[in-house]
């Protein structure tokens, strides 16, 4: 039977944790990273618009678009495959 524990690296040491706990920790970390990425993207848009305004350039068109979610991409691929 497969082992019920996984080796996880924290810094420079490995710790053996239950697989369920490891999966939960990884999913939580990924959610936090996704939130941080989205926050930084929004802040970047504002900063780029301010920079263009300061340079006297027109605002970028299409710059306020949002990426499609994984679910939306699955639906698009399903439609394209027929």
> Taking the CA of residue 42 as centre, how many other CA atoms within 13 Å lie in the half-sphere pointing to its CB?
6
Tell me the residue range of the domain where 35 lies: 5-81
The whole-number pLDDT of residue 1 equals 53
Q: What is the reported pLDDT for 2?
A: 66
Q: Are 6 and 22 in contact (CB under 8 A)?
A: yes
Over the chain (82 residues), what is each successive 10-residue block's mean pLDDT? 83 93 94 93 87 88 80 93 85
Instruction: Indicate the number of domains in the chain.
Output: 1
* CA separation for the pair 8, 16 (Å, rounded): 6
């Amino acid at each position: 039977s497969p082992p019920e524990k996984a080796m996880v690296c924290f810094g420079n040491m490995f710790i053996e944790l239950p697989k369920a706990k490891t999966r939960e920790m990884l999913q939580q970390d990924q959610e936090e990273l996704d939130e941080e990425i989205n926050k930084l993207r929004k802040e970047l848009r504002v900063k780029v618009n301010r920079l263009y305004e300061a340079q006297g350039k027109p605002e970028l068109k299409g710059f306020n678009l949002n990426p499609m979610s994984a679910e939306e991409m699955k639906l698009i691929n399903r439609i394209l495959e027929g």
